[in-house]
Amino acid sequence: MSKNTFVMPLGPVHVALEEPVYFRLEVEGETIRNVDLTSGHVHRGMEALAQQRNLVKNVTLTERVCSLCSNSHSFTYCMAVENALGMSIPPRARYLRVLAEEIKRVASHLFNTAIQAHIIGFKSLFMHVMEVREIIQDVKETVYGNRMNLASNCLGGVKCDVDPKLLEYILSQIGKMEPQVEEIRDIYNTNHNVVTRTKGIGLLPKEDAIRLGVVGPVARGSGVMNDVRKESPYAAYPELEFKSIIKDGCDVHTRTQVRLDEIFESFGLIRQCCERMPEGPVTCAMNPIPVTQATARSEAPRGEVFYYIRTNGSETPERLKWRVPSYMNWESLGVMMRDCAVADVALITNSIDPCVSCTER
Amino acid sequence: MHDIIRGNSTIIEGIEPLCAHGGSVRHTSDSFGNAYHWFQIDTPHELLQAADILHSQGSRLAMITAYNRHSDTGPMQALCYQFVLEGVVYSVTVPLDEKHPQVPSITPLFNNADWHEREMMELYGIKIVNQPNPRRLFLDEELDKGLLGELVPLSIMMNGASSQDLWERILQGKESR
């Protein structure tokens, strides 16, 4: 630390931070020269809990790792168990899993985009995005009975079938929402206040993105192609048409563009699921539990979710470990914030769509 | 089940000899045809060599898991390092025992190993050699290392376990009012 720099603490409880995390900023005037991060304030010891519950109960537990990515956790956990037990889920369940996942992705990306407007101080835009997001929240509530944890996944398939009437309802709501999100995307791409605050800040060059192994829109906004849905197809994704959004702007603005463009791909996936939903059962029978180990991964709204399970023949896993997307993305803040202004810390932090509760588990 | 399991031949052929003396190699795929290659290397000494091969091919470190192994001879642990390259998952398991109780850090090769290594140091008490940043990650310095290696019954772990003592104190407080 040079004699011109001084330490500025930010957090763990701060008005600009949604969840507790402590930043130790070394600043020179208004410019950040170094960042150190301390977390652990909401550590829940969930991995220890998972080793005390049976495979079925852990579906409920893993859905509570995160709120916005809740479905991705139970989804990937179920896939890990199904891989361990050698189960193959029915076609209808594969489509229903994608349907729930993409509905959650739309809600998650819109939430992050809204928070960006809130941090910028563009309150009317924040409220507008949240209002449009209510349409997809209503879809969740109407179809699954809940606005956050859908409780849709179970071992071997899905718990709730979605009848044709509800599929029609989803399609009509998506039709209502799409032009409104188009308008929002246009505002984020062209509005002077938004563009001035987000363009050229929080830079994460491609080589740093690769070096730090970042995932999700953070990687794809720095030109790194990393989308599990394309790379390691699962559920119904191999049968559906969609693009992976990849851009090379490397800044806050680009990461927002990636998320907004991805919403339209999700709309397309939701439509295809509703229109091509095969008939048939939504679950398969469980197989005996062997002594084995297995892995599964999926593309959550924030990026790759990775699960590893070891079974010992009993109904309780010997070890269950998962790695959330934010876990890989936090360290990139050190690169993004270097030489940026103190006033941009919250904006840059939001651009990785961080989740403290799932990072610490 | 898919007959052909995809994989990078340089990685597979490079790591297989590191598993030849007591280790094991297994190749599996899931119901969607995604490939998984499982290597258990002989000792922790081979880890850097395996990591070097994976790094040279452009793999990304996805996760490291520490776990306890059952043994009659005393505490034993293992670490499972998982890497991804072109949609294929390569898992390298490193057994730890009294003879080989520590493992070299791979953070110099894979920068994103830092958090994983620090987390398993604090939760499982794993000894990592040459870790460039051996600070606590989540847990406070006052807490013992290796908490997840200890047997803590669920009833003790959960707050409700304090019920006897807690309710007695609550009742005392109520009676004294």
Tell me the C-alpha distance between A95 and A101, whole Å: 10
- First CA to last CA distance, chain A: 33
CB contact under 8 A, A213 and B91: no
The reply to whether A22 falls in a domain is no
- Is residue A6, in this structure, part of any structural domain at all? no
* Partner residue facing B63 (CB), from A43, A231, A308: A308
Q: Flag whether pLDDT at A76 surpasses 70.
A: yes
A16, part of any domain: no
Task: Measure the CA–CA gap between A315 and A155, rounded to whole angstroms.
Answer: 13
Q: Of B60, B67, B88, which has the smallest distance from its Cβ to A213's Cβ?
A: B60
Cβ–Cβ below 8 Å for B115 and A234: no
Compute the distance between CA of residue A71 and CA of residue B9 in angstroms, rounded to an integer. Answer: 35
Q: How far is B166 from chain A (nearest CA, A)?
A: 22
Q: What b/e sequence results for A141-172 when a residue is b if at least 16 CB atoms lie within 10 Å of its CB, and e otherwise?
A: eebbeeebbbbbbbbbbbbbebeeebbebbee
Task: State how far residue B62 is from chain A, nearest Cα, in angstroms.
Answer: 7
Q: Is residue B156 part of a domain?
A: no
Q: Is B108 an interface residue toward A (CB < 8 Å)?
A: no
Q: Is residue B172, in this structure, part of any structural domain at all?
A: no
User: H-helix or E-strand containing A348?
Assistant: helix A345-351
B47-79 per-position pLDDT tens digit: 999 999 999 999 999 999 998 876 655 558 889
Cβ atoms within 10 Å of A91's Cβ, excluding its own: 17
pLDDT interval class at B139 (50, 70, 90):
confident
Q: Does residue B15 belong to any structural domain of this protein? A: yes
Model confidence at B88: pLDDT above 70: yes
In a domain? residue A60: yes
Residues in A closer than 8 angstroms to B148, CB to CB, are: 47-48
Environment class of A262 (CB within 10 Å of its CB; exposed 0-12, middle 13-18, buried 19+) = buried
Residue pointed to by tokens 């772990």: B157
- The pair of structure tokens assigned to A346 is 């919250």
Q: What is the DSSP letter of B148?
A: G
User: Smallest Cβ distance to B61: which of A39, A213, A296?
Assistant: A213
Q: Decide if A3 is inside a domain.
A: no
The residue of chain B with its CA nearest to that of A214 is B112
- Shortest Cα–Cα distance, B74 to chain A (Å): 18
Q: Are A147 and A135 in contact (CB under 8 A)?
A: no
| A229-A183-A178-A250 Cα dihedral, nearest 10 degrees | 0
Catalogue the E-assigned strands of B48-150: 60-69, 76-85, 88-96, 102-104, 127-129
Which residue in A308, A359, A360 has the most chain B C-beta atoms within 10 A of its own C-beta, making it the best mutation to test that interface?
A: A308
> Where residue B25 sits, what CATH number does that domain have?
3.30.460.80
Residue B47 domain boundaries: 9-149
**ipTM of the complex as predicted:** 0.86
* Residue B145 domain-assigned (yes or no): yes
Place of tokens 């969607």: B32
* Of A4-18, A291-305, A330-344, the least confident: A4-18
DSSP letter string over A297-327?
Answer: EEEETTEEEEEEEEEESSSS-SEEEEE-HHH
- Inter-chain contact A233–B32, Cβ cutoff 8 Å? yes
Range of the domain at A168: 46-316
pLDDT band at B1 (very low <50, low <70, confident <90, very high): very low
Count, in order, helices (H) and strands (E) of chain A. 15, 8
- What's the count of helices (H) and strands (E) in chain B, helices before strands? 5, 7
User: Which residues, numbered 188 to 217 in chain A, qualify as contacts with chain B under a Cβ-Cβ cut-off of 8 Å?
Assistant: 210-213
Length of chain A: 361
| B79 reaches A (C-beta below 8 A) | no
Q: What letter does residue A283 receive in the DSSP assignment?
A: B
Contact yes or no for A231 and B87 at CB 8 A: yes
Number of domains in chain A: 1
Q: Which residue from A108, A218, A328, A38 is spatially nearest to B141, judged by alpha carbons?
A: A38
Tokens of B129: 């050699």
Nearest to A306 among B62, B115, B139 (CB): B62
What is the distance between the alpha carbons of residues A305 and B97, in angstroms, rounded to a whole number?
30
- CATH number reported for the structural domain that contains residue A177 in this entry: 1.10.645.10
Q: Is A226 exposed, middle or buried (0-12, 13-18, 19+ CB in 10 A)?
A: buried
* Cβ pairs bridging A and B (under 8 Å): 91
In a domain, B175, yes or no: no
- Residue B45's pLDDT band, with cuts at 50, 70 and 90, is confident
> For position A220, what pLDDT does the model report?
94
Tell me whether residue A305 is in a domain. yes
Angle subtended at Cα B119 by Cα B113 and Cα B124, rounded to the nearest 5 degrees: 120
In this predicted structure, what is the pLDDT of residue B152?
60
Q: Is the pLDDT of residue B3 over 60?
A: no
State how many domains chain B has. Answer: 1
Domain membership flag for residue A126: yes
C-alpha distance from residue A77 to each of A33, A299, A307, A327, A330 (Å): 40, 13, 6, 17, 23
Q: B30: nearest CA in chain A?
A: A83
